[in-house]
Structure 1
Amino acid sequence: MVEVKKILACIDLSDYSEEVLDYAITLARMFRAEVVIINVINKREIDAISMAGQHYPELVNVATYMQRTKADRRSRIETLLDSVFAGNGIGIAIRIQAGVPFEEILLAINEEKVDLVVLGNKGRTNLARTLLGSHAEKVFRHSPVPVLNVRNRQKFAAAAERRSR
């Protein structure tokens, strides 16, 4: 039988985040596994802040931005866990990383020694191919462990309906 001891839940705080956590926590209960939640601050955001800081150093500071963003994202993830998944009875760790999302996810897979990755169908931009066409697809191609892609049946059907018009 396949042993799943640790699950990586890729959370970008989009509409799919709750569903990703639901699948990850449900599977963790079934396998009696731990969950590591990863959220990645995209390098493009950091680069944009850095460029703004070059022009307006008195207004923009990358270190301050990173500190506040990490704290905000951790707080939002903890709030989601407390409100929706309180008393889940499993070990949960949170990683807030900065970099290229798929690279950070692949790095976390190896560093955390996870056995399964759970990620959403679309990213924060909610453009159909932004995440699946780039970061998620690269995770699928390069992950050394199985990857579960979470979809919401109603959202998926509605998007398919819009595309067929």
Structure 2
Amino acid sequence: MYKHILISTDGSDVAQRGVDHGLSLAKSLDAKVTVITVTEPFPFHASAAGGGWVPLPGDISGYEEGQKKAAEKLLATVRESAARIGVSADVLHVPDARPAEAIVEAAKAQECSLIVMASHSRRSLGRLLLGSQTSEVLAHSPVPVLVVR
């Protein structure tokens, strides 16, 4: 059935429910697991430059280094959780990317047969039940997506 499961996390409590569910499913199916986290680019807003603020190279590199360290810590924690229940998990950090696009691309590149992710945001009327990133993954995924609420 599902031989390789891609589990997405952003480190939130809601995402952790998706991680827990995905790892349990992988254990029961004896499936390979890859856990992905995506960090977005430095949040530079065009309007900020008009207000006189322009980020310095140190601002950007500090942000990127902080994002990398946070991702490494998060993925190490998930890998340890997986090991505790007897699941071997590969981890993947995709920096400077839009989460939904990176998740779909990783699923293709890793030849995953299922994506597991949590849903947790209510940004507009069209997305009352699912978060925007989850909606995008559902719309563009080449494989089934299990949404954990």
Q: How far apart, CA to CA, are the structure 1 residues paired with 2:57 and 2:14?
A: 36
Partner of 2:91: 94
Deviations along 1:54-105, one digit per CA (max 9) or x if unpaired, are 7252751x233212211222213323553x5442222211111131111101
Partner of 2:22: 24
Q: Which runs of 4+ in 1 moved over 4 A?
A: 49-52
1:3-42 pair list within 5 angstroms: 4-42=2-40
Partner of 2:72: 74
TM-score by length of 1: 0.73
Q: How far apart, CA to CA, are the structure 1 residues paired with 2:68 and 2:19?
A: 19
Deviations along 1:94-153, one digit per CA (max 9) or x if unpaired, are 11113111110111011111110011111xxxx4237835221111111111100101xx
Tell me if structure 1 keeps the 8 A contact 2:79–2:91: no
Q: How far apart, CA to CA, are the structure 1 residues paired with 2:133 and 2:142?
A: 15
Partner of 1:146: 144
Partner of 2:114: 116
1:64 equivalent in alignment to 2:58: no
TM-score by length of 2: 0.80
Aligned length: 140
Structure 2 residue runs of 5 or longer lacking an equivalent are none
Tell me if structure 2 keeps the 8 A contact 1:74–1:94: no
Q: How far apart, CA to CA, are the structure 2 residues paired with 1:35 and 1:116?
A: 10
> Cα 1:133–1:89, aligned 2, differ >3 Å: closer, same or farther?
closer
> Cα 1:49–1:72, aligned 2, differ >3 Å: closer, same or farther?
farther
Partner of 2:133: 135
Q: CA RMSD in A?
A: 2.5
Q: Secondary structure at the match of 2:63?
A: helix
Further displaced range: 95-104 or 132-141: 132-141
